[in-house]
């Protein structure tokens, strides 16, 4: 396994990450999804060593983060929504100042990527827009050839053109054998790109599943409101009724009855929406249903 | 200038002012020296603590130090540079403050025995401005989101000294300067009370559980 998180616990004020277990094999991309405040950034920051662990372990490429900090971090490429580099540095200063810390860093490649991403070498980080800061971090990460990328909402502030390029480069990195853990609100990207999906809710990892299998684990059924009400309760995650009919996320089962409905495979956005709705309406029952799948 | 004033006070037999001025001058120097040494010790503890602390602690280095592939030894080396820079700044800042305090003392005494010249309020303004060093104070609180590690040092007992000092001012000072001084003292006190209320509890609870001996152990600069 490239990324192995075992029984990770971390308390930050009133928020807590509880017993997080996550395994991602090499060469795959895992999307970390969840509502605002679910703990995505906290989990990523803990995995990159910004927060100390209260309990559990983080092993990256088989090496323990606590005991082999330097080796582990040398293989980590980091792109955060909030740029963590000191903002008084210039683009060039970042490469010169911190590049030497990484054994695989290449200043030539850094220069090449920054040019390609439209960054001026003499520009100060604090003068860059949020999208440009993401580009800068991405360029820096690519230039030291990490085997694991930890990214927090990297595509949120990117324009369409660069977002496309971002995913192209990610594909190349995956082919090279790198592993990517990426948190994103933009589930449309993850719908197409992610191999695994991890869903965080209130500091708990509800599941980490193969995306295709995950989507096959649920069905989105559409029909008249009365039809939706007739669905067996133990199969319904949540339901939404409208003036002209409604839809419901259900657990599939072999039944002729389903032929009465219009059936779709839910996308991640729909999954997130109905899972959260189900959780609000039914509490733990929904979680039990999901865990069993 | 100070020596001339002292001689003048002795000649005019203004012994009370002479004693007051001397005590103030000594206390200013002692205070600056103590604050300087205290500050340096504070930095020593703080920097050593920061080497191994993570982002979720009050004492910490900039975030970048914790995700770069550097170990504690390398962090300590980086921090070492910052420590000596802080030492230098402490020395410069406190020498400057001591000079300004002395000028201020001299001025207050001078004003009671000689005429008021136009340049004296200028000195007063510079001295007051230097004592407040509010910009440094605010930028510190702004940059460290929850960081108030050396709040007590920054609160600067000097501010309270200045306020108490106001009570000791010569009565012959003109009302306009009294008013100015009182406003200044009130401003300082209110800012201190504001920050103490905002961060004081956090600092006290933090230091109550803090193991200084453990933190000082790995500190080898």
Domain match, A225 and A158 both: no
Cβ(A215)–Cβ(A232) below 8 Å: no
pLDDT tier at A170 (50, 70, 90 boundaries)? very high
Q: Which one of A104-113, A192-201, B7-16, B165-174 scores highest in mean pLDDT?
A: A104-113
Please indicate whether, in this complex, the C-beta atoms of B64 and A49 are within 8 angstroms of each other: no
Please name the member of B57, B62, B70 whose beta carbon is closest to the beta carbon of A70: B70
Domain match, A143 and A18 both: yes
- Greater confidence (A247 vs A258) lies with A247
CA distance B72 to chain A (A): 9
pLDDT of residue A37: 86
DSSP, residue by residue, chain A:
--EEEEEEEEEETTEEEEEEEEEE-TT-EEEEEE-TTSSHHHHHHHHTTSS--SEEEEEETTEETTTSHHHHHHTEEEE-SS--S-TTSBHHHHHHHHGGGSTT--HHHHHHHHHHTT--TT-BGGGS-HHHHHHHHHHHHHHT--SEEEEESTTTT--HHHHHHHHHHHHHHHHTT-EEEEE-S-HHHHHHH-SEEEEEETTEEEEEEEHHHHHHT-EEEEE-HHHHHTS-GGGEEEEEEETTEEEEEE-----GGGGGSEEE---HHHHHHHHHHHHHHHTHHHHHHHHH-
Domain match, A84 and A204 both: yes
B142 part of contact set with chain A, CB < 8 Å: no
- From A155, A185, A213, give the residue that closes a domain: A213
A50 part of contact set with chain B, CB < 8 Å: yes
- Other Cβ atoms less than 10 A from the Cβ of B216: the count is 13
Q: What percent of chain A has pLDDT over 90?
A: 46
Write the pLDDT tens digit of every residue in A69-79.
888 999 999 99
Domain match, A197 and A225 both: no
Write the pLDDT tens digit of every residue in B103-112.
766 766 666 5
Domain match, A108 and A155 both: yes
Please name the member of A50, A76, A85 whose beta carbon is closest to the beta carbon of B54: A50
Cβ-based burial of A137 (10 A; exposed 0-12, middle 13-18, buried ≥19) = buried
Domain match, A10 and A77 both: yes
Segments forming the whole domain that contains residue A91:
3-213
Q: Which residue of B has its CA nearest to A68?
A: B71
pLDDT of residue B184: 64
Q: Which residues of B touch A71 (CB under 8 A)?
A: 69
- From A155, A190, A213, give the residue that closes a domain: A213
- Greater confidence (B214 vs A161) lies with A161
Mean pLDDT over A94-110 rounds to 91
Q: Which residue of A has its CA nearest to B57?
A: A51
> A112 pLDDT exceeds 90?
yes
Please name the member of A51, A69, A84 whose beta carbon is closest to the beta carbon of B64: A84
pLDDT of residue A252: 83
CA distance B1 to chain A (A): 43
A64 part of contact set with chain B, CB < 8 Å: no
Mean pLDDT across chain A, nearest whole number? 88
pLDDT of residue B199: 61
Domain match, A247 and A199 both: no
With a cut of 50, list the residues of chain B below it in pLDDT.
116, 129-130, 132-154, 157-158, 160, 163-164, 167, 214-221
Give this complex's ipTM.
0.70
> A67 pLDDT exceeds 80?
yes
pLDDT of residue B192: 62
pLDDT of residue B71: 73
pLDDT of residue A44: 94
Domain match, A153 and A225 both: no
Q: HSE (CB half, 13 Å, CA atoms) of A59?
A: 14
Read off the CATH number of the domain in which A40 is found: 3.40.50.300
> A1 pLDDT exceeds 90?
no
Copy the structure tokens of residue A178: 């790198």
Domain match, A14 and A90 both: yes
> A199 pLDDT exceeds 60?
yes
Best mutation target among A70, A77, A144 (most B Cβ atoms within 10 Å) is A70
- Greater confidence (A209 vs B24) lies with A209
pLDDT of residue A25: 93
Domain match, A66 and A181 both: yes
Write the pLDDT tens digit of every residue in A216-254.
888 899 888 888 888 888 888 888 888 888 898 888 877
Q: How many domains does chain A have?
A: 2
Q: Which residues of A touch B206 (CB under 8 A)?
A: none
> A47 pLDDT exceeds 50?
yes
Q: Which residues of A touch B55 (CB under 8 A)?
A: 45, 50-51
**Which residues 74-93 of B are in CB contact (within 8 Å) with A?**
74
- From A213, A229, A260, give the residue that closes a domain: A213
pLDDT of residue B122: 53
Q: Which residue of B has its CA nearest to A13?
A: B56
Write the pLDDT tens digit of every residue in A80-92.
998 888 888 899 9
Domain match, A141 and A276 both: no
A66 part of contact set with chain B, CB < 8 Å: no
Please indicate whether, in this complex, the C-beta atoms of A85 and B70 are within 8 angstroms of each other: no
Lowest-confidence pick of A20-34, A100-114, B44-58: B44-58
pLDDT tier at A289 (50, 70, 90 boundaries)? low
pLDDT tier at A114 (50, 70, 90 boundaries)? very high
Domain match, A58 and A95 both: yes
Lowest-confidence pick of A10-24, A258-272, A273-287: A273-287
- Greater confidence (A285 vs A191) lies with A191
> A182 pLDDT exceeds 90?
yes
pLDDT of residue A3: 93
A156 part of contact set with chain B, CB < 8 Å: no
């Amino acid at each position: 396994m490239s990324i192995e998180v075992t029984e990770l616990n971390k308390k930050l004020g009133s928020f807590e990450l509880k017993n997080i277990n996550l395994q991602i094999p090499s060469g795959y991309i895992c999307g970390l999804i969840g509502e605002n405040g679910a703990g995505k950034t906290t989990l990523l920051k803990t995995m990159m060593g910004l927060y100390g662990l209260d309990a559990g372990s983080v092993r990256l490429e088989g090496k323990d983060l606590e005991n082999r900090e330097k080796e582990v971090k040398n293989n980590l490429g980091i792109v955060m929504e909030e740029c963590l580099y000191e903002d008084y540095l210039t683009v060039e200063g970042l490469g010169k100042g911190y590049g030497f810390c990484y054994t695989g860093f290449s200043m030539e490649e850094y220069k090449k990527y920054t040019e390609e991403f439209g960054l001026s070498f003499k520009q100060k980080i604090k003068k860059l827009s949020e999208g440009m800061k993401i580009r800068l971090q991405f360029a820096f990460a690519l230039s030291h050839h990490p085997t694991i990328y930890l990214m927090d909402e990297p595509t949120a502030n990117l324009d369409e053109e660069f977002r496309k390029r971002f995913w192209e480069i990610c594909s190349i990195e995956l082919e090279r054998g790198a592993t990517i853990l990426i948190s994103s609100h933009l589930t449309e990207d993850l719908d197409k790109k992610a191999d695994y999906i991890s869903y965080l809710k209130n500091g708990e990892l509800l599941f980490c599943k193969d995306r295709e299998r995950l989507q096959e684990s649920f069905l989105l059924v559409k029909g008249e409101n009365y039809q939706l009400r007739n669905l067996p309760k133990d199969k319904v995650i949540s339901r939404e009724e409208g003036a002209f009919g409604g839809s419901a996320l259900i657990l599939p089962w072999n039944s002729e009855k389903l032929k009465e409905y219009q059936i779709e495979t839910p996308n991640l956005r729909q999954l997130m929406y109905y899972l959260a709705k189900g959780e609000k309406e039914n509490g733990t029952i929904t979680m039990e249903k999901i865990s069993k799948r | 200038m100070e020596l001339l004033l002292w001689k003048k006070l002795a000649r005019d037999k203004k012994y009370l002012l002479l004693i007051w001025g001397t005590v103030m001058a000594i206390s200013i120097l002692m205070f600056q020296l103590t604050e300087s040494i205290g500050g340096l010790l504070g930095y020593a503890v703080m920097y050593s603590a920061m080497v191994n602390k993570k982002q979720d602690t009050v004492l910490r280095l900039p975030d970048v130090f914790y995700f770069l592939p550097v170990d504690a030894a390398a962090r300590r080396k980086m921090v070492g540079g910052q420590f000596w820079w802080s030492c230098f700044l402490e020395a410069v800042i406190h020498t400057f403050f001591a000079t300004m305090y002395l000028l201020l003392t001299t001025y207050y005494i001078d004003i009671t025995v000689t005429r008021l010249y136009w340049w004296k309020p200028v000195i007063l303004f510079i001295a007051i401005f230097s004592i407040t060093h509010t910009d440094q104070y605010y930028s510190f609180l702004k940059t460290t989101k929850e960081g108030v590690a050396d709040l007590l040092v920054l609160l600067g007992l000097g501010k309270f000294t200045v306020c108490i000092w106001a009570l000791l001012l010569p009565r012959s000072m003109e009302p306009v300067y009294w008013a100015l001084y009182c406003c200044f003292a009130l401003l300082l006190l209110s800012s201190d009370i504001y920050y103490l209320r905002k961060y004081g509890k956090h600092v006290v609870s933090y230091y109550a559980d803090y193991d200084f001996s453990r933190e000082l152990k790995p500190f080898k600069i």
